[in-house]
Amino acid sequence: MKILLLLICYIFALDVTAQNQETPFQSCNVKGSTTIYDYNKHQWTTTDESDSHIGSQPASTFKVINLLIALETGVIKNENDIIKWPGTTDTTLYGYRPDIYRDISVKEAFELSAGWAFIELAKQVGREKYKKILEKSKYGNGDLSEQGDDFWNFGKFAISPRNQIEFLINVYENKTPFSKQNIAILKKVMVTEHTDSHTLRSKTGWTRVEGNDIGWWVGYVESKGNVYFFATRITKPRSVSNPGFGECRKTITKEFLSQLMAN
């Protein structure tokens, strides 16, 4: 199976290089990998097998399981619950995305990636509950030694691209410690694109650790009776200016997905 996987990756990489003369990662001036799981074929495809098993901070992709944990522990009842902004209402004090610093619904907080809102929920959940639920969910390395409330952005807590997909598959199959009702809420909130041909559920993430930017895009696409799970993680030094870094998470993923889905 491993030989088959490596062969698939090799052919995949050759095809991309032949068409573009450089990989999507090179075009974006970033390093990283894209990992995809074809649900019907039970087939893994990755641009970098080694990287797909290396963990790093999940950043805002953690909101996927964080939402489930908040629901399951009773911290929130549903996606329409309002999270109260604990700071000042003078948004002129906030230079970065001032529109998110207000009372906000859970659904909006997820869609707009309002980090402060999920930090407030995390305070109510408590570290011990997190540790137990994350272990049951087989999500990440379980290292919650980071003292800050948003341990998913900094510290030693980490998850690999492969693990991200494994968790999403379990979510899709309702094979997690969470109730079907809460899974249904998550699946509804995760929809980022819906057309006659496909439904895309996804979450981005971006954090800055040890002088590097780490960008994620994880999720799955349902199309033509099949499901394609994906996890893309890209990195670059913070000292290197790259205005397209955020968008590259998606353009890279979509390029690889389109090739697989066309076959």
Catalytically active residues are 60
CB atoms within 10 A of CB 27: 15
DSSP classification of residue 150: -
**In this structure, what are the phi and psi dihedrals at residue 254, rounded to the nearest 5 degrees?**
-65, -35
DSSP classification of residue 159: B
Tell me the C-alpha distance between 147 and 202, whole Å.
Answer: 28
Contacts of 42 (CB under 8 A, 6+ apart): none
Long-range contacts of 188-195 (CB under 8 A, 24+ apart): 188/79, 189/67, 189/79, 189/106, 189/107, 189/110, 189/111, 190/64, 190/110, 190/219, 192/219
Helix or strand holding residue 134 (H, E): helix 127-137
* 240: Cα within 13 Å, side-chain hemisphere: 13
DSSP classification of residue 14: H
Task: Give the type of residue at 25.
Answer: F
